[in-house]
Amino acid sequence: IAGITQAPTSQILAAGRRMTLRCTQDMRHNAMYWYRQDLGLGLRLIHYSNTAGTTGKGEVPDGYSVSRANTDDFPLTLASAVPSQTSVYFCASSSTGNTEAFFGQGTRLTVV
Amino acid sequence: GQNIDQPTEMTATEGAIVQINCTYQTSGFNGLFWYQQHAGEAPTFLSYNVLDGLEEKGRFSSFLSRSKGYSYLLLKELQMKDSASYLCAVLDSNYQLIWGAGTKLIIKP
C-alpha cells in the first residue's frame, strides 16, 4: 500500500542520547516535512525538504537535523535529546508545495 | 507575526450541522487547507480553498473569504465518527503551511 511510514511508533529516550526518527514514502513526492505536535499548539514545522538534496529550517529547528539523500527517505536526528523534545512527531510529504500533504502515523517520543 | 485562530472546542448533536471558523493573518496567501485528526492518529486531508467561495464535498463544505482572512468548515448530518479535531492551515508566501491549534469537535447522541 502506497504511503508514508515512520519508525519507531513510540520511544522512551534518556536525556542526552542521540536518536534518529525514520520516515519513508513511496509516492515519489518531492516535498517532505517534519512536524512536532504538542497539546494546545498547532503543528510546528521543524525542517523541510522541497526536493532530494535540499533541506530547510522551519519554525522550531534547534536541536534537530535532517538529511535528504534520496526522494524516499527523510530522517530526523536529535543529536542530544532534552525533555522539551518530548512530543509527537509527524513526517509528511506532498507532491508540490500547494497540494495536500500525506502524514505518517506519528512517533510518540518521551525524553526522560 | 503569523497567526491562525480557531475555537479550541465545540460540541454538537448527532444529525445536526456545525460550522468551525478559522481566521488568519499570514505573510501572503497561497491557499487554505482543512484536515481532520482523530485522537492518536495522523491528520488527513479534507479540503483546499484558494479562491473565494464555497467548496462542497459530500457532507463537508469549506468556505473562504480572502479579503476577510476567514474560512469555515461546515459539517452536515453529523455522525459520531465525526468526533475529531479539525485543523486549519494556511499556505503562506513561501509555500510553508502555518497551522492553527485545531478545534476539538465533540458529538453527542
> B47 pairs with which residues across the strands?
B34
CA distance A56 to B72: 31
Distance of residue B38 Cα from the nearest chain A Cα, in angstroms: 11
The amino acid present at A47, given as its one-letter code, is H
Mean pLDDT on A16-31: 96
Residues 6+ away with beta carbon under 8 Å from B67: B52
pLDDT band with cut points at 50, 70 and 90 for residue A99? confident
Q: Is the predicted pLDDT of residue A41 greater than 90, yes or no?
A: no
- Looking at residue B95, what is its pLDDT? 83
Cβ atoms of A92 and A33 closer than 8 Å:
yes
Q: Which residue of B has its CA nearest to A97?
A: B95
Q: Is the predicted pLDDT of residue A48 greater than 70, yes or no?
A: yes
The cell for B1 is 507575526
Q: Which residue of A has its CA nearest to B7?
A: A40
A42 touches chain B (CB under 8 A): yes
> Which chain A residues are within 8 Å of B44, Cβ to Cβ?
103
The shortest CB-CB distance from A98 to any of B41, B95, B100 is to: B95
B69 touches chain A (CB under 8 A): no
Q: Is the predicted pLDDT of residue A97 greater than 70, yes or no?
A: no
> Which chain A residues are within 8 Å of B91, Cβ to Cβ?
97-98
Distance of residue A8 Cα from the nearest chain B Cα, in angstroms: 15
pLDDT tens digit string along B29-54?
Answer: 999 999 999 999 999 999 999 999 99
Distance of residue B49 Cα from the nearest chain A Cα, in angstroms: 11
Quote the DSSP letter at residue A53: T
The cell for A52 is 532530494
Strand B103-108 relative to strand B9-13: parallel, antiparallel, unpaired?
A: parallel
Mean pLDDT on A83-102: 91
B30 and A90 within 8 Å at the Cβ level: the answer is no
Question: Which portions of chain B are predicted below pLDDT 70?
Answer: none
CA distance B98 to A42: 8
- Segment (H or E) for A108: strand A107-111
CA distance A43 to B103: 13
- Looking at residue A1, what is its pLDDT? 59
Q: What percent of chain A has pLDDT over 70?
A: 96
Cβ atoms of A50 and A31 closer than 8 Å:
yes
pLDDT band with cut points at 50, 70 and 90 for residue A42? confident
A48 touches chain B (CB under 8 A): yes
